[in-house]
Structure 1
Amino acid sequence: MTSAYTSRPQGSRLADLLAAHAQLLSIAGFFLIMVVIFSIASPVFLSTGNILNLVRQIAPILIVAVAMTFVITTGGIDLSVGSVVALINASAAIVLQMGLPWPIAVIGLLLLGAAIGAIQGWFIAYQGIQAFIVTLAGLSALRGIALLMTEGFSIPISTDLGFVAIGREWLLGVPVPTWIAFLIVAAGFLTFWGTRFGRYVTAIGANQEAARRSGISTKQILLWVYVLTGLASALAGIIIAARLGSGSSNAAVGFELEVIAAVVLGGTSLMGGRGSIAGTVLGALTIGVIGNGLILSHVSPFFTQIVTGSIILLAVWLNARVFSRLASGARRKT
């Protein structure tokens, strides 16, 4: 008895492509909708000055969100990133006031951020403590250390130091923080999709035990993804300190929620096993556009957080329930 083979239905490849990238396409569509709405609401929104200001403001979020994509793809989470930013922010001002040369200070602060990530990663990977618990403890303890160091005061950073150029200078008509964020995004994309490390991150998130049995050093990979978030948070803290010209323990309050929202909006699964650097970029841009657009639209700052949270929830719901189903339905019809 012979089996009958049929040719692939015409158009099904396109449907499969749409289904595979439904979440990325949905956040891209939602981002464009927000841009159109706010450009109508405020003629200043699409001005060159505002766009450059927007990308400079979201640079710290984008930098940490790229690293957070690796963490969440493994099925973990890092709630301490905002507190690391605050600690590095305050530490930068303190060590610079002490007279430490700023290049040495930057290197030392980056190493400090990486060390914090390594400590948390060790507890998660090698001691088996849930990432939520470890990083929640870090969120509280690290912010407390920053408060203790500054006694709640803001510490100024001299504008004569070359350090402030990291957050305030422009290169080829684009803010330096934006160039830094671009380099981090490019490195993150290449690492996530073009290296063995990136593939291992996805494999661990999909099935950690299967990844371990296949010979992947799962504990080492898990430790390194938290080193990445610590390092990225340190870089974000340095940029914010340089841009504002001061260090404060109150910096980056709620920062971790914006970072996680950007990653989830971009289609990275909180359950692990699926991540998207391109989606994370769109997610960060969307959050930045919403915040900036609401301010330009003269929405009360007390109302802004409510609107932002509602829009993010709507975007995630559309992503998970509407756009994905539409793509699946298109694939079935073909």
Structure 2
Amino acid sequence: MDGVTRGEVLGLVVRLAAVTTLSYFTMKILVDALDPTKKQKIAAQKRAQQILSSLGIPSDINLTEYELLIASQLVDPSTITVGFEDIAGLEQIVTELRQTVILPIQKRDLFCSSALMSAPKGVLLHGPPGCGKTMIAKATAREAGARFLNLDISSLTDKWYGESQKLAGAVFTLATKIQPCIIFIDEIDSLLRVRDQHDHEATAMIKAQFMQLWDGLTTDNSCTVLVMGATNRPNDVDKAILRRMPATFRVGLPSAEQRRSILTTVLRMEVISDCVDTWRLAKLTEGFSGSDLRELCRSAAVCRVYQLKEDQEKLDPINMEDLLTALAKMRESKIECGGSIPRPPDLD
């Protein structure tokens, strides 16, 4: 290295370090700009801060980055528009929920000294689709005045190894910090299905983390956090999960009396004709779920639009003919889609 001074070597090293540092930060900025999840995470954190502020949660509660991402799925119970008065035909389930879930949450200061009197840490709602499981969960959160975490399963998955477990842990740490809180998981079988040797490693670790933290809730009687799940296939849910959900409610297809109650509830805000016979409709709609009955009423209401005259300024009341026409269309569409709704004899 004849002719090369020590200062030149040092300057070369400094320039090389500067170029390397500049290249690193340039690549980092490019990767962040090309990463679609980066902007989503930033937006989720901003939305979470707005929700936390609207819920009146003290600002001195420090939340981690992962807890903020989960907090973006919080729902203010006062903004939930569904109440028990909107759920028809499920009076027995509503009564049991009031006694086993809502009362212990509302009177948690009174019941915290007893492990037997506290609210269950897990509630499972199962039954055919469209029978009101999600409505029951929302109405329970509203009635109890608890924070409602409507957990999106996709929010627990991340492309980086180990991040999913941190997000799963943040679900429970966040719920504990803002208790009382209800963690609602719709289609819980898709996340916590029966474990087998073919499970992906990341999925298996999420399940293990979820169950471990869930067990931690049972050791603290003063912790008012419960997990509420809904599923159409309870047999696909892991047995270890079912053990953690001692309060189980089956929300089945409504009976004739329940169908009449649902029809009456749905039509109560509409102008209907005196000829509408809800009892006859209830008998004609055997095998219909609650959502099917609501769609029947909606379709009947739309039928009036087709009969609207040019000079007519008000819609006619919903009559029996509109409802029967809508029922015939629904039966036809069910048959075309491979449905198996039984067809009772017409009751003229």
Shorter-chain TM-score bucket reads under 0.3
Instruction: Identify the structure with the greater strand proportion.
Output: 2
Instruction: Identify the structure with the greater helix proportion.
Output: 1
TM (normalized to structure 2)? Answer: 0.22
More contact order relative to length (CA 8 Å, sep ≥ 6): 1
